[in-house]
Amino acid sequence: MKIDRFIKAALLGLSLGVGTAPAMGVAETLRVTDTGPSRALKVPMNRAVVVESDNPFAELSIANPGIADISTLSDRTIYVLGKTPGRTTLTLLGPDGKLLSNVEVHVTPDISEFKERLRQILPGEGIEVRTANDGIVLSGVVSSPNRMTLALDLANRYAPERVSNMMSVGGTQQVMLKVRFAEMGRSVRKALSSSVTLGNPVGSGVNIGASAGTWLQNGNNLPDSEVITVSGDQEGVMSIGFGAGSFRVGVLLEALEAKGVVRTLAEPNLTALSGQEAAFLAGGEFPIPVAQEEGAIAVEYKPFGVELTFTPTVLTDDVINLQLKAAVSGLDSSVSYQNGGLILNSFRRRETSTTVELRDGESFAIAGLIEDDFQDAIGSVPWLGDLPVLGALFRSTEYERRQSELVIIVSAHLVTPTRGEFLAVPTDRIRPPSEKDLFLFGKTAASSTPTVGVAAEVAKQDFSGSYGYVME
């Protein structure tokens, strides 16, 4: 009977070991003596531990079967299976009902598999894994916030909402972003118009032509050019008059050519910590009246100037993820709204919003725009404007072309702080003049300049080229 009982117990233990923990089998063995167990019993979740007793027991009980499950292999051997993280108590009673021992059972998350997966997914990272109560504690130094997030996500698979993060990120985690707005605009406008006037000394006359302006006050004053008035610009106006007896003929030619070039450059620089948002505005705020209830007027302010908002995230191998929004705006007097005595100008704005990835020191052209607007118009007197050669006297022709090219370039740098004396600012090379230098010698700046340090090196530079805050 005893042999049969031992064989059945052995088969039961083998089946439980194979069914519940094929990878590890029995994790460890705890021995219970007359003085009780030497330590608490730690059982990994979904793993098994064998408890051996020096004295035979007749009855077993577990305080919380939901935390751990037990089965007997013999009258001296117990098989304990961890089910859910937590603490409970295993009680052993002898044949006479006497208490043999109370064993504290501590079921913890199985971190052996977690450690193995962590080494496979994040090789080379110095992450230490420990258990605390029913959770997992991660500590050590990782190379980037992205890898820290991956480690936390993996830990939550094994201990949901019971992960303590004590890890820190090594390396440089501050990013300086340099944004360059470069825009060139070109415009060309040409116009040619003419008018012919016929008159007599009595004062009657007729004006024939396609000119936009009224240039004749009295027909009998031809060819006196001083009475000619032209609406709009006066450039390129020429009048010709001649008479035959009492008959007067006047011709007005108006030609205009305008060219213009506009160059716009803005270079905002801003530094932020990885994962934190930073904002920059160099400009102002324009007041805009807004009608309220009962005729009240409120004032809202709209910012304009150079705006920059970005959030950097330093990834593995010095790769920088940038979420940025950059804009350059200003008042545009060519388009306005007028209501009574109130005049509101519109805003001209260049804006981009995007997400890019680049390495330390690299640049990216994140936006580009080419505009080419062309328009022309011809006005003429019917039939007369269609005459060969002479028809040009009865036509008004103009055309306008505007071209604009915009490029926005971003550059990212991993930066670290330095000592204040190693930094130079634009004011280092210029000092206010004394009264003697200003009134007697007419100097707008002091003659003394720094002789040592970074400020002295900056002071040696002249003003023949670009100057200001420059960082290469």
What is the per-residue pLDDT across 22-60, written as a single tens digit (0 to 9) for each?
333 344 677 777 676 767 888 888 888 888 888 888 888
Query: Do 104 and 115 reside in the same domain of the chain?
Result: no
- Residue 356 is predicted with a pLDDT of 92
pLDDT over 70 at 233, yes or no: no
Domain boundary among the residues 85, 108, 131 is at 108
pLDDT of residue 116: 87
Tell me which of 230, 258, 286 is where a domain ends. Answer: 258
Question: Average pLDDT of 133-143?
Answer: 83
Residue 161's pLDDT is 84
103 and 148 belong to one structural domain: no
State the number of CA atoms in the 13 A half-sphere of 393 facing the CB. 15
Q: For all residues of the chain together, what is the average pLDDT? A: 76
Flag the least confident range among 27-31, 183-187, 372-376. 27-31
If pLDDT is split at 50, 70 and 90, which confidence band does 230 have?
very low
Where among 108, 126, 146 does a domain terminate?
108
CATH of the domain at 92: 2.60.40.1080
Regarding whether 428 and 457 lie in a shared domain, the answer is yes
Let me know if residue 425 belongs to a domain: yes
Say which range, 253-262, 305-314, 448-457, has the weakest mean pLDDT.
448-457
Residues 95 and 123 in one domain: no
What pLDDT score was predicted for residue 402?
87
Q: For residue 422, is it within any domain?
A: yes
The pLDDT tens digits of the residues spanning 290-333 come to 888 777 788 888 888 888 899 998 887 778 899 999 888 888 87
Give pLDDT, residue 229: 42
Q: Above pLDDT 90, what percent of the chain?
A: 6
The pLDDT of 375-404, averaged and rounded, is: 81
Q: Is residue 447 part of a domain?
A: yes
pLDDT in tens, 339-359: 777 778 888 888 889 999 999
Residue 218, pLDDT > 70, answer: no
103-127 pLDDT tens trace: 888 888 778 888 888 888 888 888 8
pLDDT, position 277: 92
Whether residues 158 and 191 fall in one domain: no
In a domain, 290, yes or no: no
User: Is residue 145 domain-resident?
Assistant: yes
pLDDT at 452: 60
Q: In this structure, are 204 and 164 located in the same domain?
A: no
Q: How many domains does the chain have?
A: 4
- Does some domain include residue 208? yes
Residue 264 domain-assigned (yes or no): no
Q: Domain of residue 191: give its range.
A: 187-258
User: Minimum mean pLDDT among 21-25, 203-207, 266-270, 408-412: which range?
Assistant: 21-25
CA distance 119 to 174: 28
Residue 314 lies in a domain: no
For the residues 197-221, what does the mean pLDDT come to? 48
Could you tell me if 220 and 209 lie in one domain? yes
Same domain, 95 and 116: no
- 154: domain CATH number is 3.30.300.20
